[in-house]
Amino acid sequence: MELLKKCAEKLGIILSAHQLDLFEKYFNQLYAWNQKINLTSVTGYEEVQTTHFLDSLTLLMTGKIRPDFRIADIGSGAGLPGIPLKIAMPDISLTLIEATGKKVTFLRSLIEELGLKDTAAITGRAEDLAHDLHYREKYDVVVSRAVASLPALNELCLPFCKIGGTFIAPKKREKLEEELAASTNSLKRLGGRFVKIEYVEVPDFLSRRALIVIDKGSLTPSIYPRRSGMPQKNPL
Ligand code: SAM
């Protein structure tokens, strides 16, 4: 994990030998399980370190994630960005929400293998789980990578966020302004408030990435999210 160590240092993130060992184990599990179920198309040792692990750690650059926080990762897939954040900040409480049962089986095995405390993987769609009072408006920070366009993501993610909490969406820089412009209505309806875009770059290894930071200013009306599939099919 030398490449990850070096690139993370460039972002001011120092990973201990133990943390690097956990990332190594994560890579090995991802690689092995990917032979059986489709978790990711990115499988090369160096590529996983940058495209998956480092990219996930960039969310720390927002300054919005604190060690005592409850974090939810929506559409976590193979655990990204949630698991790298948990490895870097072991005291956070982490909930991974993922619609595909097989991926959740992987996530539970990974959590066990890495010995991660206070980490749960839940099978289900965000549209349904966001109406469950165990999860609704319970998280300090909600994160979600590569799941949907911003207007749909707002509807899937903001209901999980506490008032005063934050939703962070890592995105490619292309079409960023367009996605933000299309999000005005969804933010207003869901109680979100655009805060900033943080541009992140590690020359040669991570390029043209950006983090959209949205604060939750007021309660999300209980009709949201709408039924399964609607946020993506017919964004607010
Ligand atoms: N976040 C991971 C990453 O960055 O590698 C996975 C991205 S993958 C392209 C999208 C994932 O979101 C899939 O695993 C899919 O099953 C999950 N997903 C899509 N819509 C969802 C929803 N409404 N609720 C929960 N999971 C969802």
pLDDT digits 0-9 by tens, 173-212: 998 999 999 999 999 999 999 999 999 999 889 999 999 9
Find the 17 Cα to ligand 1 centroid distance in Å. 30
Tell me the two tokens of residue 13. 């993130």
Q: Which pLDDT score is estimated for 214?
A: 98
Shortest-distance Cα residue to atom 6 of ligand 1: 77
CA distance 231 to 219: 18
pLDDT tens, position by position, for the chain (236 residues)?
999 999 999 999 999 999 999 999 999 999 999 999 999 999 999 999 999 999 999 999 999 999 999 999 999 999 999 999 999 999 999 999 999 999 999 999 999 999 999 999 999 999 999 999 999 999 999 999 999 999 999 999 999 999 999 999 999 999 899 999 999 999 999 999 999 999 999 988 999 999 999 999 999 999 999 999 999 999 99
CATH architecture, domain 2-233: 3-Layer(aba) Sandwich (3.40)
Q: Give the pLDDT confidence score for residue 175 in this predicted structure.
A: 86
CA distance 185 to 117: 38
146 touches ligand 1 (CB under 6 Å): yes
| Joined tokens for residue 64 | 């919005």
Residue minimizing CA distance to atom 26 of ligand 1: 75
Joined tokens for residue 34: 């990917």
Ligand 1 in reach of 127 Cβ (< 6 A): yes
Strand order in the sheet with 161-172: 119-123, 93-98, 70-74, 139-143, 161-172, 206-216, 192-202
Nearest to 8 by CA among 53, 63, 66: 53
Global confidence as pTM: 0.97
Distance 6 CA to ligand 1 centre (A): 29
